[in-house]
């Protein structure tokens, strides 16, 4: 539902599976290169553990770029971790449901 709704608004959407009861392999270096070439400006993270794992996969030389992106998180707890990790544009969207994410994207990014 989320994928289809975002595509209908004109967004380019790419899923990156990084968790499935076990952490999956994630090549942070190649993803950063890809995201930079695609002008990615926003990340959505839906859990505390996901953010910790994700941040560990990004090479040190790419952290400044990563931390400059807008980061949507589901709670104050995750927002606090994001700030501690160095993210500067953290938006607590107060939930991780598909509808909450869609509503937040529409309110904050579409049409601006």
Could you give the 3-state DSSP secondary structure of residue 96? coil
Helix (H) / strand (E) containing 50: helix 48-57
CATH of domain 37-112: 3.40.50.10090
pLDDT along the chain (112 residues), means of 10: 82 73 79 95 94 93 95 98 98 95 86 58
Q: What is the pLDDT of residue 25?
A: 75
The pTM score is: 0.77
Rounded Cα distance between 54 and 38, Å, is 19
């Amino acid at each position: 539902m989320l994928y289809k709704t975002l595509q209908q608004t004109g967004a380019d959407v790419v899923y990156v599976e990084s968790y499935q009861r076990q952490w999956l392999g994630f090549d942070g270096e190649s993803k950063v290169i890809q995201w930079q070439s695609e002008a990615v400006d926003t990340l959505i993270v839906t859990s505390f553990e996901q953010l910790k794992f994700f941040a560990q996969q990004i090479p040190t030389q790419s952290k400044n770029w990563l931390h400059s992106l807008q980061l949507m998180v589901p709670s104050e707890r995750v927002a606090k971790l994001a700030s501690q990790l160095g993210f500067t544009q953290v938006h607590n969207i107060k939930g991780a449901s598909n509808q909450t994410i869609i509503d937040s994207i529409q309110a904050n990014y579409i049409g601006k």
